[in-house]
Chains A and B, each alone.
Chain A
Amino acid sequence: ETGVTQTPRHLVMGMTNKKSLKCEQHLGHNAMYWYKQSAKKPLELMFVYNFKEQTENNSVPSRFSPECPNSSHLFLHLHTLQPEDSALYLCASSSQREGLGDTQYFGPGTRLTVL
């Protein structure tokens, strides 16, 4: 248990559906991240939020829409996805203290399958 929870753990959706992934951290961190891990590929950073402000969008298609209402919650809204978007979606959080290395703690992930 890392203090980062994700729901749902598994999700199957059609290409015309709209769904949302939720992440919550109980660690008092100020930064949250979305990563994507496709089969047999390394983790890819998607989005970064620091104090609710998006600080990085790693050229992610607009069918993925993040939302960070506060420092503890992070959402990833999904619409009109493609089968190649099927992957493990991971959330992480950290304290992002200036001048220091900060440790990112990951949630268990949501296994997404797009039919």
Chain B
Amino acid sequence: DAKTTQPTSMDCAEGRAANLPCNHSTISGNEYVYWYRQIHSQGPQYIIHGLKNNETNEMASLIITEDRKSSTLILPHATLRDTAVYYCIVRPPNAGGTSYGKLTFGQGTILTVHP
């Protein structure tokens, strides 16, 4: 599976946009980019995912570069409750049968939102 590289930590002021980068230079053509976050001692929360096009939902926007070697998660108006560890994960689609796209978590980016 393709590896991802994320900054260890980032800070953001409350109310401002938080832009979290992720490098995945070895991504394959059929691999998805997933973002999850984990607030301290809770289960990971799904945020968004994409394959080639940019995506937006009620939580965030995902910008994937044209060559798909990097992406950015954007939280448009960060709040204190967005303080969490953010994971960028590259995973293949399910191949059928017992072969599925494994979700491999790294260390992620610790985002701290300040008042």
Residues in chain A within 8 A of chain B (CB atoms):
2, 4, 6, 31, 42-43, 45, 48, 50, 53, 55-56, 88, 90, 92, 96-109, 111
Contact = CB atoms under 8 A, between A and B. Distances in A.
B9 interface: no
Nearest to A103: B46
B100 A50 contact: yes
B34 to A, nearest CB: 7
B49 A103 contact: yes
Contact of A55 (B45, B100, B103): B100
Contacts of B94: 96-102
B93 interface: yes
Interface residues of B, number: 26
A84 to B, nearest CB: 19
B44 A101 contact: no
A102 B34 CA distance: 10
Contacts, number: 67
Contacts of B106: 42
Interface in B37-71: 41-46, 49, 51
Dominant secondary structure of chain B at its interface with chain A:
loop
10 contacts: A48-B100, A97-B94, A101-B93, A101-B94, A106-B43, A106-B46, A108-B42, A108-B43, A109-B42, A109-B43
Contacts of A104: 46, 103
Contacts of A50: 98, 100
Contacts of B44: 43, 90, 106
Contact of A101 (B34, B45, B104, B108): B34
